Amino acid sequence: MKPIAVLALVLAVGIATYSAAAWSAPAATPTEAKLLKSVATLKAQVAKLQKTDKTQNTNINTVANIAVSALAYGACSTAITADAIQGTWQIVDQLSAATQTGKTYFGAQTPVSDSVLSGLLNAPACQAASVTRSQALPPTSAQFNALLGVLKSYQLRHGFKLQHG
């Protein structure tokens, strides 16, 4: 039994020595310490860059919304201007037909479409700006006043949003 006990003791001491050596980490070499410091610096830089990226994406979306708003505003302005001009032409045709035995100068008019920026706006430009187009005769400045009102309103800042996905 003594040889088995001695063998067991030798094995126990060997395993304990091996375990202590295997699980204890040696002190970092200067190169390893430098690498660990570099990794920590890089982690901080990545975190900062991620924050900057988020801010820049927000700013890009804001600029894109302003651009879409400006294009939609211009399209609506063009459409209501065309409505007013066409209304004036219709009045001229009515007057000439009544005074010149049925003569017309401009003929039937087709309203100009304000459906622009397909895929970016979810409605025609004037509807997106909450401006109601009118082909009523005689033309009035009501639509222009409504469009100019957009410049003063919450609608300008928040009404034109890009459609996402």
User: In a 10 Å sphere around its CB, with 0-12 CB exposed, 13-18 middle and 19+ buried, how is residue 79 labelled?
Assistant: buried
Residue scoring higher pLDDT (162 or 80): 80
Read off the pLDDT of residues 76-113 as tens digits, 9 standing for 90 and up.
999 999 999 999 999 999 999 999 988 999 999 899 98
Tally of domains in the chain = 1
Does some domain include residue 72? Answer: yes
Domain that holds residue 110: 53-165
At residue 165, the pLDDT reads: 40
Read off the pLDDT of residues 111-135 as tens digits, 9 standing for 90 and up.
998 888 777 777 888 988 889 998 8
At residue 123, the pLDDT reads: 85
Does some domain include residue 24? Answer: no
Contacts of residues 143-151 at CB distance under 8 Å and 24 or more positions apart, as own/partner, are 143/80, 143/83, 143/84, 144/80, 144/84, 147/73, 147/76, 147/77, 147/80, 150/73
Does some domain include residue 119? Answer: yes
Does some domain include residue 4? Answer: no
Round the CA-based radius of gyration of the chain to a whole number and report it: 39
